[in-house]
Amino acid sequence: MAITTLNGVRLSWTDHGGDGPPVVLVMGTGSPGRVWDVHQVPALRAAGLRVVTVDNRGIAPSDECAGGFTVDDMAADVAALVEHLGAGPAALVGTSLGSRVVCELALARPDLVRRVAALAAHARLSPVQRAYTEGMVDAADAGVELPVRLWAAMQATHNLSPSTLDDDRAARDWLDVIGFGGTAVRPGHRAQLRVSLDLGDRRAAYRDIAVPLLVLAFADDRAIPVRLSREVADAVPGARYVEIAGAGHYGYLERPAEVNRALVDFLTG
C-alpha cells in the first residue's frame, strides 16, 4: 500500500502488479479498496492484468474530507492516480457509488479510459434509495448507533440475495462479518453518502460515454435494483449488459466466479 498526495488529498492505493493492461478498481460507499482483494484481484491478476485498488477519499487511510466533496472530485482522484502511475488509458471497474465515479471519469477524461465495467450501475436514485440514503445521513448527524445485531441484520437483508440468506450457515457468517465492522457512520462515509444524494439524474449525460461499457447487474439487488442498471445500459450506445442470478448488492462477493468471468471476458476482449 502507498499513500500519495494527488488532486489535493492524501490517497491510499495498492499496485498489485502484473505486466498486462492496467485496471483500476473503485469501491462503493463506505468500503475500502481491500474488499476487492478477496476475489477480484486474484482473478484479474491471473488473467494477466496489472491490478490497482484505491481507497476513495472519505475512507481511511485516504483523507476523509469530512467537509464534503463531489463525484467530480472522486473521479479526478482516480484520474490523478492513473496519471501518477503512467497507466493511461486504463480499464476501470467500479461498483455502486464506484460505478458512478468511473462513468463520470469516462465522460470527463476519455483519454485516460480504455473501457469501463460498472457493477450495480445507476444514473439516479429511486425514491426508496434516496430515502434510505437520507436516513443514513440523518442517523449519522443525530449520532445514532444501532445495536450491532440489528445493524447486521438490516445490512444483510439490504445487501445480500435471499439465496444467500436462506443458507443458515452462510447467513450467520455474513452477520458476523457485517457486525465486526461496527455500526458507526464515520464523517468520511457520511460525505460519500452526500455525494449520492447530490448527483441527480445522469441518464442524459451518460449518452455521451464513448468508451466500451459493461453494465453488470445483480438480479436480487435491493440497494440498486436491476431496472436502474438497465437504464444505464440503455442510455450508453453499444453498452453490454450482464445480469448475475442469485446475487444481491454484494454480488461480487456472493457470486465471484460468475462476476469474475464476466469481468475477465470484457477486460481482456
**Average of pLDDT values for 229-244?**
98
* Radius of gyration, CA atoms only, the chain: 17
pLDDT at 14 over 90: yes
The rounded distance, in Å, linking the Cα atoms of 157 and 175 is 10
CATH number at residue 6: 3.40.50.1820
Omega of the bond leading into 225 within 30 degrees of 0 (cis): no
Domain contains 10: yes
Residue 216 lies in a domain: yes
Q: What pLDDT was estimated at residue 142?
A: 94
pLDDT(269) > 90:
no
In angstroms, rounded to a whole number, what is the distance separating the alpha carbons of residues 152 and 79?
Answer: 34
Determine the average pLDDT of the residues in 49-58.
98
Domain of 237 in residue numbering reads as 2-125+199-268
Its pTM surpasses 0.85: yes
Known catalytic residue: 96?
A: yes
- Whether residue 182 is contained in a domain is answered as no
Residue with cell 441518464: 203
Question: Average pLDDT, stretch 73-102?
Answer: 97
Is position 145 within any domain? no
User: pLDDT band for position 196 (50/70/90)?
Assistant: very high
Does residue 176 sit within a domain?
Answer: no
Domain tally, the chain: 1
Position 43 scores a pLDDT of 98
Any domain includes 155: no
Dihedral angle sign, alpha carbons of residues 53, 58, 59, 63 = positive
Mean pLDDT within 239-244: 98
| Phi, psi for residue 7 in degrees, rounded to 5 | 55, 30
Q: Is 208 a catalytic residue?
A: no
CA 251 to CA 225: how far, in whole Å? 12
Catalytic residue among 96, 99, 161, 229: 96
Query: What is the pLDDT at residue 77?
Result: 98
pLDDT exceeds 90 at position 182: no
Q: Which amino acid is at 100?
A: R
Domain contains 141: no
Identify whether 187 is part of a domain: no
- Rounded CA separation 125/241 (Å): 19
Average pLDDT, the chain: 96
The predicted structure's pLDDT at residue 181: 82
Determine which one of 73, 77, 220, 221 is catalytic: 221
Is residue 16 part of the annotated active site? The answer reads: no
How would you write the chain as a 3-class SS string?
A: CEEEEECCEEEEEEECCCCCCEEEEECCCCCCHHHHHCCHHHHHHHCCCEEEEEECCCCCCCCCCCCCCCHHHHHHHHHHHHHHHCCCCEEEEEECHHHHHHHHHHHHCHHHEEEEEEECCCCCCCHHHHHHHHHHHHHHHCCCCCCHHHHHHHHHHHHCCHHHHCCHHHHHHHHHHHHHCCCCCCHHHHHHHHHHHHHCCCHHHHCCCCCCEEEEEECCCCCCCHHHHHHHHHHCCCCEEEEECCCCCCHHHHCHHHHHHHHHHHHHC
